[in-house]
């Protein structure tokens, strides 16, 4: 179950009981922070959420875009790090978030690094952002690296919004189609079936088939909904690597969706690896950090093989070519990058190229799904109307 912070109760200097919720790391950190505020801790208990999938949306990394940009601008203006964090705390109107920034400032004042202190925040920073902060701390160019990371995160945020926007309308059509089919099966068809049950004439085959399917469709929809819910819940737990790999191979077999899944991982890997290398982080360390940001087990295994090759002094291109996960153009760009010593630039250009191709495929997918959903819905409604009205036509013919 997912930890949603800690609920605390404490007594202030006047003896009154105070309580609140904090996300400031663990129990010891919260107890120390309460004592610094002049409170005597009474209880600190974890708050957990039953299903992690329900809180996944609150863990969005979008909040880091404005935070990192503001912090970078304050540092570029010559304001010390500790004072900049205190300013961010003063600007925050939400009490739990303000407490987090106060905790970060206290950590920095006690001698901790910013990259370590940031791990106490909720949501926690991405692997890429943590690595960029560490690189800035090592090189003394923290403000520059924060600004660069903010620009990269904003670009990624816009890309995710574009993806969500592209898929929103097809998903809306799918939900509408399912709702209409469920309405026909649950309310319209039983009403007509009851009406025709009083007739002595035998119903046409099409009408009988439609009525039979109408009784089963609601049950099938509930079963499919339950299966989807089980998969969402199962995705929150760790299973054997072999099971995950089989699931990913199954997804890869789905036309169009499989390639979108793989290319999204390639974009993520190329973007992060290029940024880390450009920040001066060694190749082996960059590969290790990039492995933590991809979802596909195939991709993680490739990165593991690349790390072994780097340890043995081998170039990246032959291993990437053998995996067949990257397109031919990407492999040739990596070859040129290794030969010219501009591997970071090649991976960043590669991420832009792959992102552009992915956006084109998404637009093509939307153009395919919209008429497909509309055609299927029109066919179902039309067939149902014909099946329901067919006995009426036959009865009118007999009466005529």
| pLDDT, one tens digit for every residue, the chain (400 residues) | 444 467 777 777 776 777 776 655 567 777 777 777 777 776 777 654 433 332 333 344 567 788 888 888 889 888 999 899 888 888 888 777 788 888 888 888 888 888 888 877 767 787 778 888 888 888 888 888 888 888 877 877 777 777 777 667 777 777 777 787 777 777 877 887 777 776 666 777 887 888 888 778 777 878 877 887 776 566 555 444 455 555 655 665 666 666 777 787 888 888 888 888 888 888 988 888 888 777 777 788 888 899 999 888 889 999 999 988 888 888 999 999 999 989 999 998 998 888 888 888 877 877 777 788 788 878 878 888 887 777 777 666 665 5
Check residue 336 and give its pLDDT.
93
Check residue 238 and give its pLDDT.
47
Task: Please give the sequence-ordered ranges of beta strands (E in DSSP) within 174-300, or none if there are none.
Answer: none
Q: For residue 51, what are its two tokens? A: 């299903």
Report in angstroms the alpha-carbon separations of 165 from 55, 210, 267: 21, 36, 19
Nearest to 272 by CA among 167, 125, 165, 164: 125
Report in angstroms the alpha-carbon separations of 212 from 183, 189, 194, 206, 215: 15, 10, 13, 10, 5
Judge whether 5 and 58 are in contact, CB under 8 Å: no
Task: Give the containing element (helix H, strand E) for 3.
Answer: strand 2-11
Check residue 92 and give its pLDDT.
81
- Residue 184's SS3 state is helix
Check residue 59 and give its pLDDT.
41
d(CA 271, CA 76): 25
| Bridge partners (DSSP) listed for residue 43 | 9
Check residue 346 and give its pLDDT.
92
Report in angstroms the alpha-carbon separations of 267 from 17, 54, 118, 189, 346: 51, 27, 26, 48, 13
d(CA 219, CA 182): 10
d(CA 251, CA 30): 43
Q: For residue 257, what are its two tokens? A: 């969706």
Q: Around Cβ 379, how many Cβ atoms within 10 Å?
A: 10
Judge whether 41 and 106 are in contact, CB under 8 Å: no
DSSP output for 252-264: HHSTTHHHHHHHH
123 upstream amide cis, omega within 30 of 0: yes
| Bridge partners (DSSP) listed for residue 48 | 3
181 CB-contact burial (10 Å; exposed 0-12 / middle 13-18 / buried 19+): buried
The model's pTM is 0.62
Judge whether 17 and 41 are in contact, CB under 8 Å: no
Check residue 233 and give its pLDDT.
65
| Bridge partners (DSSP) listed for residue 7 | 21, 45
Opening angle at CA 267, ends 263 and 273, nearest 5: 140
Task: Please give the sequence-ordered ranges of beta strands (E in DSSP) within 130-179, or none if there are none.
Answer: none
Check residue 50 and give its pLDDT.
36
How is the beta sheet containing 2-11 ordered, strand by strand? 17-22, 2-11, 40-49
């Amino acid at each position: 179950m997912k930890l949603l912070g800690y609920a605390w109760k404490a007594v202030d200097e006047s003896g009154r009981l105070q309580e609140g919720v904090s996300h400031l790391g663990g129990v010891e950190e919260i107890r120390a922070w309460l004592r610094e505020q002049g409170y005597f801790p009474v209880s600190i208990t974890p708050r957990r959420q039953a299903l992690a999938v329900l809180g996944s949306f609150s863990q969005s990394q979008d909040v880091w875009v404005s935070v990192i940009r503001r912090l970078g601008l304050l540092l570029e203006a010559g304001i010390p790090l500790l004072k900049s964090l205190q300013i961010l705390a003063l600007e925050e109107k939400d009490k739990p978030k303000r407490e987090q920034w106060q905790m970060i400032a206290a950590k920095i004042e006690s001698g901790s690094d910013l990259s370590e202190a940031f791990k106490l925040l909720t949501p926690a920073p991405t692997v890429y952002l943590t690595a960029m902060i560490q690189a800035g701390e090592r090189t003394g160019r923290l403000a520059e690296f924060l600004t660069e990371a903010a620009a990269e995160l904003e670009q990624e945020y816009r890309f995710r919004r574009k993806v969500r926007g592209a898929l929103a309308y097809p998903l809306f059509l799918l939900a509408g189609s399912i709702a209409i089919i469920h309405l026909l099966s649950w309310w319209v068809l039983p009403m007509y079936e009851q009406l025709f049950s009083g007739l002595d004439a035998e119903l046409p085959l099409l009408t009988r088939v439609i009525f039979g399917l109408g009784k089963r469709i609601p049950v099938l929809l509930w079963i499919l909904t339950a299966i989807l819910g089980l998969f969402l819940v199962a995705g929150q737990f760790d299973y054997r690597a072999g099971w995950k790999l089989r699931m990913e191979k199954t997804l890869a077999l789905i036309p169009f969706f499989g390639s979108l899944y793989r290319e999204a991982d390639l974009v993520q890997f190329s973007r992060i690896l290029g940024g880390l290398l450009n920040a001066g982080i060694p190749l082996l360390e960059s590969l290790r950090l990039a492995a933590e940001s991809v979802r596909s087990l195939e991709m993680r295994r490739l990165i593991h093989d690349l790390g072994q090759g780097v340890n043995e002094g081998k170039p990246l291109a032959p291993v990437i070519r053998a995996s067949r996960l990257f397109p031919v153009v990407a492999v040739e760009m990596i070859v040129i990058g290794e030969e010219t010593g501009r591997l970071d630039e090649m991976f960043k250009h590669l991420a832009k190229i792959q992102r552009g191709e992915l956006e084109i495929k998404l637009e093509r997918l939307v153009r395919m799904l919209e008429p497909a959903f509309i055609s299927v819905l029109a066919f179902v409604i039309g067939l149902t109307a014909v099946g329901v009205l067919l006995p009426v036509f036959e009865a009118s013919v007999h009466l005529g």
